[in-house]
Amino acid sequence: MSQTNVGGAAATPENGAPLDVLLWDSDCQRGLMMKQLLERVPSVRCALRQSGSEVMDALATLQPHVVVCRQARTLGGVSPAQVEGFIRTGHACRHDLPLIVLCPPDELAFHRVVETGGTRYVDGSDQGRIEELIGQLARNSAFRPSLLFIEDDVDAAALFASVLQKDFAPEVVHDGSEGLEAWRRRHHDLVLLDLGLPGLDGRSVLRAMMQEDPEQVVIICTLQDALEDHAELITLGAADFVVKTTALAHLPAVCKTVLSRMRNEKASALAHTHNATLQEVADRVNLALRYHNAGAHCMAAVHLKRAALEAASVPLDEDRAACG
């Protein structure tokens, strides 16, 4: 079999995926109680660490979705502020990794003022609020974008997919022809495409995808960094490039950035098209009014019908639907 779904049932968006929580508490007994609380939330897995060095090692090895820790000057020789700085560098994990800091209720107002980025301060005694926040993160993580990785190196594909499955639902195929067929079945949100493939080479796969769906987001995964190759592949329709020597910890962030950028471009183009269509509708209605006022009712009716046809292609927002 050259096609695999990574991670079993948890790797499909329909079944959702577990939310991996890294819990940091120097008090073992208190940490175990919090771990039990967090794991009461559906689809949550929790790993407990007691020292700052253990936490920093776990950031790279576990690649958690969220870190939860206690507010203190130091926890095992390292402060939460130091670990936050380590996270935000993006060296070992996503730079925007959510960090939930549990603090005493009387200090909450002060810490909320200095909240930045992905860091949230929460009343450590409010178990309901903690469960609610983790539950929200778990629900959000259950809907991961689908990703097709077409790569003939089985070991490299497995390694990349194991890192990507935290944020994507990856499907791995090792042959170009089979990869194209897998894509035709699902039209994945994102495709990671190697160039040197058996069956059908990467350039041919890219051409076929772009011919059938020009809006498909494809990232070329390559060992080469030649400008002329990049220019050719961009012309063929590639959205971006990932060099295989890229640090694995950065790969999910790169993929999410490219996918977000392409979706924003699509949304912007769609909005521009809708605005142009609405202007056409307005122009038709104005013409119809002029013909009506001039007594040319037949011409007025023609323009009103054309305006209605144009308007049918534009989704109504709530305000216009309410008025309709």
Instruction: Provide long-range contacts, Cβ within 8 A and 24+ apart, for 236-243.
Output: 236/203, 236/206, 236/207, 236/210, 237/206, 237/207, 237/209, 237/210, 238/193, 238/206, 242/192
Measured distance CA(206)–CA(218) in Å, rounded: 8
Regarding beta strands 119-123 and 66-70, do their DSSP bridges make them parallel or antiparallel, or are they unpaired? unpaired
The tokens describing 268, both together, are 């912007």
Please give the average per-residue pLDDT across 168-176, as a whole number: 90
Task: For residue 285, give the nearest of 271, 305, 267 by alpha carbon.
Answer: 305
pLDDT at residue 201 greater than cutoff 50: yes
pLDDT of residue 34: 95
C-alpha to C-alpha distances, 219 to 34, 178, 245, nearest whole angstrom: 40, 18, 15
73-130 tens-digit pLDDT: 665 578 888 888 888 887 777 777 889 999 998 888 888 777 777 888 999 999 999 9
Contact (Cβ atoms closer than 8 angstroms) between residue 83 and residue 69:
yes
pLDDT of residue 269: 58
| Model confidence, pTM | 0.50
Measured distance CA(309)–CA(302) in Å, rounded: 11
Higher-confidence residue: 316 or 113?
Answer: 113
